[in-house]
Amino acid sequence: MAGSRSGPNMTQIAKVVGVSSATVSNALSGKGRVSPKLVEKIRATAAELGYVPSNAGRALRTGRSNVLGLVLPDISNPLFPQIAQAMEVAASNAGYGVLIADSRGDVTTQTQAIARLIERGVDGLVVIPRRGTRIGSVACPVAMVDTPSTPGNTVSADHWEGGQQVIRHLKELGHHNFLFVGHDPASNVQNDRIGGMKSVLAPGDKHQTIWIESLLAGTPDQTSLGLLDHVKNGVTAIAAVSDLHALRVLTELQTAGIKVPEQVSVTGFDDLVFSPVVTPALTTVHMNMTRIAEIAIAALIKDIEAPRASPDDPDTSNYKTGSTDQNTVKADTSKVSMQLVVRGSCAPAVPSATPSPNGETL
């Protein structure tokens, strides 16, 4: 009853062709010594019978499942689809499957999620860590996607440089008084982005940063960010750390009767699904997730398939060494540059950027 799979197995093929199952295995894998014409014959009958190798059998023998685990931060992140898709495609191309696990909220869940994946026998993990989280040592190679400045990071977008692109663009339009909008001051990604933005500011430029989480601590979602005051005080450009927040900014301004981009320019990050279809379409910075996924998966698989080092020869391992206790893998390229996507939410700064005494001109 149990284990009665539908398709044929190697023994069946062997019987049909009239050889041993070992020869079938060798022929299909191309490993041992099998005459070319036998290989041909075996391949043909395997295809004819609709042979599908048993993952369980192979995994048991080789100790490898050909499955990777993908650990994602809290699901509310609208970037999730892009990440998951890119990872799945990259893994699939390399012959691996992707098991998902999400660590909604707390670090505990993240740890549990990782444990579950390990127990399922994944060969490696891709972890997009929850903001500011570190992952403990685990029993398999790990590719970490966070920010270039995070210790243990395998590969990620160059958020810093992305921030620079945004501000450079706004400065070319004549802006000098910025408001940066972040969500969580503990997020590595958000800090990198804001850091990059600040890094290209000139001495005379004004800027201020607000963190949504701190601002609205404990209150329900729908609360004003108080943008009107900032605009009255002379801010002409608002740069958010994500399109989600840029959207919040955009609609709050529009409701207050402030015209975007005529009076205030707005920018976001990540090029989320809704960004091109809102009015005005959001100017944002696009992340090349496909490439990041390819690099992460490649580094992971390289480590997985590398011949395991003997204890006295640690050089063959791809694990990072040094101060970090994490066994995250390294990639040749650790950051992927971002692309500025100019759309309709930015315009030249209004000449009279000086705030009027009473704000009536707004």
Partner DNA sequence: AATGCATGATTAATCGATTAATCATCTTAA
Partner DNA sequence: TTAAGATGATTAATCGATTAATCATGCATT
- Restricted to residues 182-241, the positions that interact with its own copies (CB under 8 A) are 221-222, 224
DSSP secondary structure string for all residues of 115-163: HHHHHTT-SEEEE---TT------SS-EEE-S-TTSTT---EE-HHHHH
- Interface residue with its own copies among 25, 77, 153, 165 (CB under 8 A) is 77
- Interface residue with its own copies among 20, 199, 255, 316 (CB under 8 A) is 255
Cβ neighbours, 10 Å, residue 25: 18
- Interface residue with its own copies among 344, 348, 353, 355 (CB under 8 A) is 344
Backbone φ and ψ of 84, nearest 5°: -60, -45
With 0-12 CB in 10 A as exposed, 13-18 as middle and 19+ as buried, what is 78?
Answer: middle
Contact (Cβ atoms closer than 8 angstroms) between residue 147 and residue 156: yes
Least separation, in Å, of the C-beta of 205 and its own copies? Answer: 28
- Restricted to residues 26-55, the positions that interact with its own copies (CB under 8 A) are 52-55
- Tell me, what amino acid is at 291? R
Least separation, in Å, of the C-beta of 95 and DNA? Answer: 11
Least separation, in Å, of the C-beta of 276 and its own copies? Answer: 4
Rg of the chain on CA atoms, in Å: 26
DSSP state of 281: P
Contacting positions for DNA (CB under 7 A): 1-5, 9-11, 18-23, 25-26, 28-29, 31-36, 38, 51, 53-54, 56-58, 60-63
Q: By C-beta, is 77 or 153 nearer to its own copies?
A: 77
- Restricted to residues 283-322, the positions that interact with its own copies (CB under 8 A) are 308
Least separation, in Å, of the C-beta of 101 and DNA? Answer: 22
Give the contacts of 334 (CB within 8 A, at least 6 positions apart): 148, 153, 154, 155, 156
Enumerate binding residues for its own copies (CB under 8 A): 1-6, 52-57, 59-63, 65, 67, 70, 75-78, 80-82, 84-85, 88, 92, 97-102, 104, 116-121, 139, 221-222, 224, 244, 247-248, 250-252, 254-255, 273-274, 276-281, 308, 343-344
